[in-house]
Structure 1
């Protein structure tokens, strides 16, 4: 029998311990749904950042993509028309608005951030030769994120490029780069609104 017991010990590669439910053991906590009274009681106490359930102010992240994308589009289309020496142009649409925006609560402190890429559809009219010509183009704003608007850069793409002379393309390109400052100002406004959420 002793040899059989030793063989059983050799065969077991691990052991484990199970706590049996005894009268002196504390019961496991049972989750419960917050009642409207709990919420009202919590609101009358000290206001905390984040959700009602997160009284300790630990990590909590809120996705703001829908609001941010809609707001960026709204702000940029509101830039209006820019007048140039021999033409004018406006942002007619935001055809690409891809990215993420979020609000994070960490240790009862609020932090916001975003990263986006944009393509703006531009409709403009310039005097080319002896006539006014409608020129469609796009402005691509490559990846930018929170706190980096001073480094904002844009690339201009002209749709009717083959129909234009080189000097006309260069003039239109230079004119459209003037959208950089008003676009940057609208994105600063967006950044401030995001901070205030």
Structure 2
């Protein structure tokens, strides 16, 4: 019996309490809701939503830009046909974009715009090289296995020569020269990324 009394006294003198509401201190009154008038609404600043009009909260919205992006990449890279690169033993220029396969999209999440794209691009080139003391016309293709948003610095360029008769020693020099097209292609794709951001 005495042990019970001591235990009850310990419980009553314990400083730990889960929740205590003080009745002596007056709490602030709860806010009273009121209906906003047309004038109140007109004076509040309105930020335009990034996405569609129906998505004023700026929640998830995805917009497919693949058709526009494919056409725009082709336009920008076809402009390289006027740019002829000169090398120590030859020259070359882009003839056309033979394929541009991939997708591009813009996603609006929490009223923030995010863009992305991933493309595989092939271009045809034509050039002339000094091979065995004579100028020889060379044709082939340049392939970008993956061009994607934010990774242009790591982009690779694969070169394929149509002519199989070129000696291996000359072939490696020509391929090395043709990889110089990587820089102007990156510049055009960087311009494409800027345009994609503004869509």
Q: TM-score range by the shorter chain?
A: 0.7 to 0.9
Which is higher, the Rg of structure 1 or of structure 2?
Answer: 2
The match for 1:188 is 190
3-state SS, counterpart of residue 153 of structure 1 = coil
2:122 pairs with 1:108: no
Mapping 1:27-66, distance limit 5 Å: 46-66=47-67
Listed one character per residue, the Cα deviations across residues 49-82 of structure 1 (whole Å, up to 9, x for unaligned) are: 1111111111111111111111111111222211
3-state SS, counterpart of residue 175 of structure 1 = helix
Task: State the 1:87 CA deviation.
Answer: 1.2
TM-score by length of 2: 0.73
Distance of 2:146 and 2:133 partners within structure 1: 39
3-state SS, counterpart of residue 98 of structure 1 = strand
The match for 2:175 is 173
Distance of 2:193 and 2:59 partners within structure 1: 24
The match for 2:158 is 155
Distance of 1:46 and 1:168 partners within structure 2: 61
The match for 2:74 is 73
Task: State the 1:169 CA deviation.
Answer: 0.8
Task: State the 1:134 CA deviation.
Answer: 1.2
Listed one character per residue, the Cα deviations across residues 32-64 of structure 1 (whole Å, up to 9, x for unaligned) are: xxxxxxxxxxxxx64211111111111111111
3-state SS, counterpart of residue 103 of structure 1 = strand
Distance of 2:124 and 2:169 partners within structure 1: 22
Q: RMSD over aligned Cα, in angstroms?
A: 1.3
2:129 equivalent among 126, 132, 136 = 126
Distance of 1:76 and 1:193 partners within structure 2: 14
The match for 1:9 is none
Task: State the 1:143 CA deviation.
Answer: 1.7
Task: State the 1:188 CA deviation.
Answer: 1.1
Distance of 1:46 and 1:155 partners within structure 2: 47
Alignment size in residue pairs? 152
3-state SS, counterpart of residue 55 of structure 1 = coil
TM-score by length of 1: 0.73
Moved over 6 A (4+): none
2:73 pairs with 1:83: no
3-state SS, counterpart of residue 180 of structure 2 = helix
Task: State the 1:132 CA deviation.
Answer: 2.0
The match for 1:98 is 101
3-state SS, counterpart of residue 78 of structure 1 = helix
Task: State the 1:131 CA deviation.
Answer: 2.6
